[in-house]
């Protein structure tokens, strides 16, 4: 069998194919998660621990909540009544969503700030006061 | 925070908008202009996913304030195709399989777009150096280099075609 006949007999097997999804990716129309905009969507930023191991004595949200555009500041204590402060992981165990009474590593998530946009959320993060010991 | 009114020519369209001086260009483009082609990969100007073209230069828009680009001509990946026809670099990435997940691709394309205007006949080494500010974690760069070579060849051939009325 000569090469063109063989190729025809294979009916496309062994051929490389152009990808159907590329058309949108090369035109900036990928619609990745970060590209999605929903009505009423708010932004979140995270307060992280500067310390590797410490007890959280107190979290003061007042200054952050006073910033116009900050909607909420959530900590593990806010999630506790909802039983959402420890959640199952893919590995089958549970992990603290936000640091629960103690931080266990540097940059551990201590609180989250919800706000109208990412800049206000970042302002909120700066204004949250956490006391460690 | 007090806002400043800036105007820009984005992909051939004039826009005027009030922005906070601290707004990064990438956030301005993605959130105010809804041009979500350019991506935020690292926010530290390492990865190049946010690359756009400003006044004839490739710029990583995550380390540039929107107010710095007041009065500038900006081209993003959305502005590469003209009149429903893909730009040669877009065609090159498509034909040579220069992308997989596609996240870095808008930055790659806008960089290649500028690089080939600066150097229309590059060697492979020159392509690798010219594109070195853009990281891709899928392709291993081999096909990206081929895609840029494809586009370079096409642009040179197009340039040689006689202009017909």
Decide if A109 contacts A47 (C-beta within 8 A).
Answer: yes
Query: Tens digits of per-residue pLDDT, A37-62?
Result: 999 999 999 999 999 999 999 999 99
For chain A (133 residues), the mean pLDDT of every run of 10, in chain order, is: 82 85 94 94 97 97 97 96 92 92 96 96 97 96
Distance from CA of B85 to the nearest CA of A (A): 11
Percent of chain B with pLDDT over 90: 93
Tokens of A65: 């909540």
Domains: count for chain A? 1
CA–CA separation, B153 and A69 (whole Å)? 52
Choose the closest CB to A22 out of B36, B39, B99: B99
**Which 8-state DSSP code applies to residue A94?**
E
Question: What is the domain extent for residue A51?
Answer: 42-133
What's the whole-model pTM score?
A: 0.88
Distance from CA of B165 to the nearest CA of A (A): 29
Q: How many CB pairs under 8 A join A and B?
A: 65
Is the C-alpha dihedral spanning B64, B69, B72, B74 positive or negative?
Answer: positive
What pLDDT is attached to residue A13?
83
User: Does residue B138 have a pLDDT over 80?
Assistant: yes
> Domain B88-158: which CATH class?
mainly alpha
**H-type alpha helices, chain B:** 25-27, 88-95, 105-118, 124-130, 142-160
Numbered ranges of CATH 1.10.150.120 in chain B: 88-158
A126 interfacial to chain B (CB closer than 8 Å) = no
A6 interfacial to chain B (CB closer than 8 Å) = no
- Confidence label for B112 from pLDDT (cuts 50, 70 and 90): very high
Q: Domain containing A53 — which CATH number?
A: 3.90.1170.50
Angle between helices B88-95 and B142-160 (to 10 degrees): 140
What pLDDT is attached to residue A68?
97
Q: Give B-chain residues touching A37 at CB under 8 angstroms.
A: 31, 34
- Confidence label for B164 from pLDDT (cuts 50, 70 and 90): low
């Amino acid at each position: 069998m000569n090469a063109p006949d063989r190729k025809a007999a294979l009916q496309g097997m062994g051929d490389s194919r152009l990808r159907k999804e590329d058309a949108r990716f090369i035109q900036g129309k990928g619609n990745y998660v970060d590209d999605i905009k929903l009505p009423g969507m708010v932004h979140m930023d995270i307060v992280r621990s500067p310390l590797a191991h410490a007890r959280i004595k107190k979290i003061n949200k007042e200054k952050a909540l006073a910033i116009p555009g900050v909607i909420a500041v959530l900590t593990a204590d806010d999630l506790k009544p909802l039983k959402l402060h420890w959640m199952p992981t893919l590995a089958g165990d549970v992990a603290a969503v936000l640091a629960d009474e103690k931080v266990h590593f540097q940059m551990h998530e201590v609180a989250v700030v919800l706000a109208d946009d990412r800049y206000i959320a970042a302002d909120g993060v700066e204004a949250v006061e956490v006391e460690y010991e | 925070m007090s806002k400043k009114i800036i105007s820009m020519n984005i992909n051939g369209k004039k826009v005027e908008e009030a922005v906070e001086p601290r707004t990064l260009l990438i956030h301005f483009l993605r959130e105010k202009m809804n041009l979500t082609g350019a991506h935020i990969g690292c926010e530290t100007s390492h990865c190049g996913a946010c690359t756009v073209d400003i006044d004839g230069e490739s710029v990583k828009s995550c380390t540039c304030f929107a107010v710095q680009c007041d009065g500038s001509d900006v081209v993003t990946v959305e502005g590469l195709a003209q009149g429903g026809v893909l730009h040669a670099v877009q065609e090159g990435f498509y034909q040579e399989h220069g992308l997989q997940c596609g996240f870095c691709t808008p930055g790659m394309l806008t960089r290649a777009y500028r690089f080939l205007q600066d150097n229309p006949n590059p060697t492979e080494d020159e392509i690798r150096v010219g594109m070195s500010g853009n990281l891709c974690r899928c392709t291993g760069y081999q096909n990206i280099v081929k895609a840029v070579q494809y586009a370079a060849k096409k642009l040179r051939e197009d340039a040689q075609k006689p202009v017909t009325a």
